Structures are given as structure tokens and as C-alpha cells.
């Protein structure tokens, strides 16, 4: 029988906060009127007022931690605009736009592109189907890119050309985790990493969401990663936002919370249970604007 030992206090690293700039959208028109992922059930009533209150707590939490939050106006008839992470991918002031796979979300793409252009970003029009930061996560110099359900392989090549960075493709195989940001969380910003070989950045991931080849890639590149339990993955524990010190997570991800504390992070619980009815959580509601 093995016993889990808590690391000695002296071995827990000190984490440093990096202030962020985010884009969010108030869920004034949130509802579930169609089904494009396993979490959505139009027959289950949604409480828009509760969704707004929970979203407001997330917004207020970011401000309290010192982050800057920009807002894009919600549009009646586009209930999923609250999941701003899907609206694009931004690095160094360049915004690579989204091209949604499902027709229900297609109109969101131009709205986000318009916001980027109006707010001083260099906009790159997408040719390939992709769902923004839902499937593109920046880790140091490299971009981890999800495929299998939403974003296409062509979008991985397109992102590599737009940003002139290495793109590491990861295949998702569990339909419950249809975007990369539902199954993998970047915990630390790491700059200046060279291509290939182990990267000593901190990430966390859910092993059952990926195929064998992708798991081997993650294990090789991130040998110190946190591997979360099925239970924590199922409550969207990995759909989290980190500033390098504070990690905003679901209050139901108790195991992940302990794992984070053992690594020196400060978990901050925010309940977005109503927005989970649409298949989104904390990270889904949070698009990072990197200037």
C-alpha cells in the first residue's frame, strides 16, 4: 500500500504572478437552445440571471487580482459569445481569428474580428476551421494545438505560419473534452524555450482525453506536469486560468486544488456551474490578449 506524502514546505517552489489582459463577454443572452457538444441539453432549463452572477464573480476576481479585463458586447441570438476563448488567438498584438465548425456559432467569428481590429490588433483572417484559444494554448515559444473535434489540421499549419512558432498537434479522443482547454491547462508562462526536448514549464492535463501518441508527446515535453484525475476532469477542473501564481478553478475540482497547493500555486475557486450547461468553464470565458 502506497502513502501519499505532502512535500516539505522547503521544497515547495515560490510562484510569481504575471499580470494579464483578458477579453470577456457578459452572458446576458445565455441559454442552451441547441446541442453541439455532450454537455448541452436544450431540454434542461437554464438560469440566465444566475449565469450572469457567476460570470460577474469571475470578472471581479480577475480585477481583484490586478488583471485588466476588456469586454465585447453580447449579441442577442449568439448565446455562446460568453465563451470568448473560442473567438481567436492573440500573440504579440496579432489576432488570428476563429472560423467555427458549427453554423450556430459562425456569426461570432466576424464579431470578434471586428473587435480585434477596432482595438488596435493586427487581424489575420482565418482560412481553416479553428476555434481560437479553445484549441491553441501558448507554452513558452511553442503553441499546443488541439484537433479531433473542432479545429482542423490545416489551422495548425495556418497558426504556425501566422505566428512563426512551433505548433505541437495533440489529438483529443474523448468527446466530453472537445477543446484542448477542457483537457489541458497552462500554469506558468515560460519564455525563451528552444524547439524540441523537455520543456520545464508547468502544465496540467487529463490523460484520458488524448490518444497514445499525444500522451507520449506530453510526457516527453512536460515530465513534471500535473496529471489530474477523471473526477476533476469531469467537472471541468482543467478549464482554468493561471497567472503563474493564482489558478482560478472550479470549486468541485478538489484533487486538482490539492495538487496545485503542493506545487506552490494558490487555487482560487469560482463556480461557473450554470455556464457549464453550455459546455464551458473558466478558461472558456477568458481570452488572453497578448500585446
Backbone angle region of 290, left / alpha / beta, with phi > 0 → left and psi within -120 to 50 → alpha:
beta
Contacts for 35 with CB less than 8 Å, ≥ 6 apart? 41, 42
Contacts for 8 with CB less than 8 Å, ≥ 6 apart? none
284 as an active site residue: the answer is yes
Residues forming a β-bridge with 143: 138, 167
285 as an active site residue: the answer is no
Tally the residues of the chain: 291
| Identified catalytic residue from 25, 67, 156, 179 | 179
| Identified catalytic residue from 67, 156, 284, 285 | 284
User: H-type helices in the chain, by residue range?
Assistant: 48-64, 108-118, 153-163, 212-221, 230-234, 254-262
Return the C-alpha cell found at 250.
472550479
Element (DSSP H or E) covering residue 71: strand 68-71
| Phi, psi angles (nearest 5°) of residue 122 | -80, 115
DSSP 102: S
Largest separation between any pair of C-alpha atoms in the chain: 60
Residues of 111-127 as b/e, b for ≥16 C-beta within 10 angstroms? bbbebbeeeebebbebe
8 A C-beta contact, residue 210 and residue 171? yes
Q: Which residues are catalytic?
A: 179, 284
Amino acid at each position: 500500500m502506497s502513502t501519499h506524502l505532502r512535500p516539505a514546505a522547503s521544497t515547495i517552489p515560490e510562484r510569481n504572478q504575471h499580470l494579464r489582459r483578458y477579453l470577456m463577454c457578459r452572458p446576458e443572452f445565455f441559454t442552451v437552445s441547441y446541442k453541439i457538444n455532450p454537455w448541452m441539453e436544450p431540454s434542461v432549463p437554464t438560469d440566465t440571471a444566475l449565469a450572469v452572477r457567476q460570470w460577474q464573480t469571475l470578472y471581479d476576481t480577475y480585477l481583484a487580482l490586478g488583471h485588466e479585463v476588456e469586454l465585447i458586447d453580447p449579441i442577442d441570438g449568439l448565446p455562446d459569445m460568453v465563451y470568448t476563448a473560442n473567438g481567436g488567438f492573440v500573440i504579440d498584438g496579432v489576432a488570428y481569428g476563429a472560423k467555427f465548425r458549427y453554423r450556430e456559432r459562425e456569426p461570432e467569428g466576424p464579431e470578434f474580428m471586428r473587435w480585434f481590429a477596432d482595438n488596435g490588433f493586427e487581424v489575420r483572417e482565418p482560412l481553416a476551421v479553428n476555434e481560437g484559444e479553445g484549441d491553441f494554448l501558448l507554452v513558452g515559444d511553442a503553441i499546443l494545438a488541439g484537433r479531433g473535434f473542432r479545429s482542423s489540421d490545416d489551422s495548425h499549419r495556418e497558426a504556425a505560419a501566422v505566428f512563426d512558432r512551433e505548433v505541437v498537434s495533440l489529438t483529443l479522443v474523448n468527446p466530453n473534452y472537445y477543446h484542448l482547454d477542457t483537457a489541458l491547462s497552462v500554469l506558468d508562462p515560460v519564455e525563451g524555450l528552444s524547439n524540441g526536448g523537455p520543456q520545464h514549464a508547468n502544465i496540467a492535463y487529463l490523460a484520458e482525453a488524448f490518444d497514445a501518441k499525444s500522451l507520449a508527446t506530453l510526457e516527453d515535453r512536460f515530465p513534471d506536469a500535473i496529471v489530474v484525475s477523471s473526477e476533476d476532469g469531469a467537472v471541468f477542473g482543467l478549464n482554468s486560468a493561471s497567472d503563474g501564481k493564482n489558478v482560478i478553478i472550479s470549486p468541485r475540482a478538489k484533487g486538482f486544488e490539492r495538487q496545485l497547493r503542493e506545487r506552490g500555486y494558490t487555487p482560487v475557486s469560482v463556480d461557473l456551474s450554470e455556464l457549464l450547461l453550455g459546455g464551458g468553464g473558466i478558461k472558456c470565458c477568458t481570452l488572453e490578449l497578448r500585446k
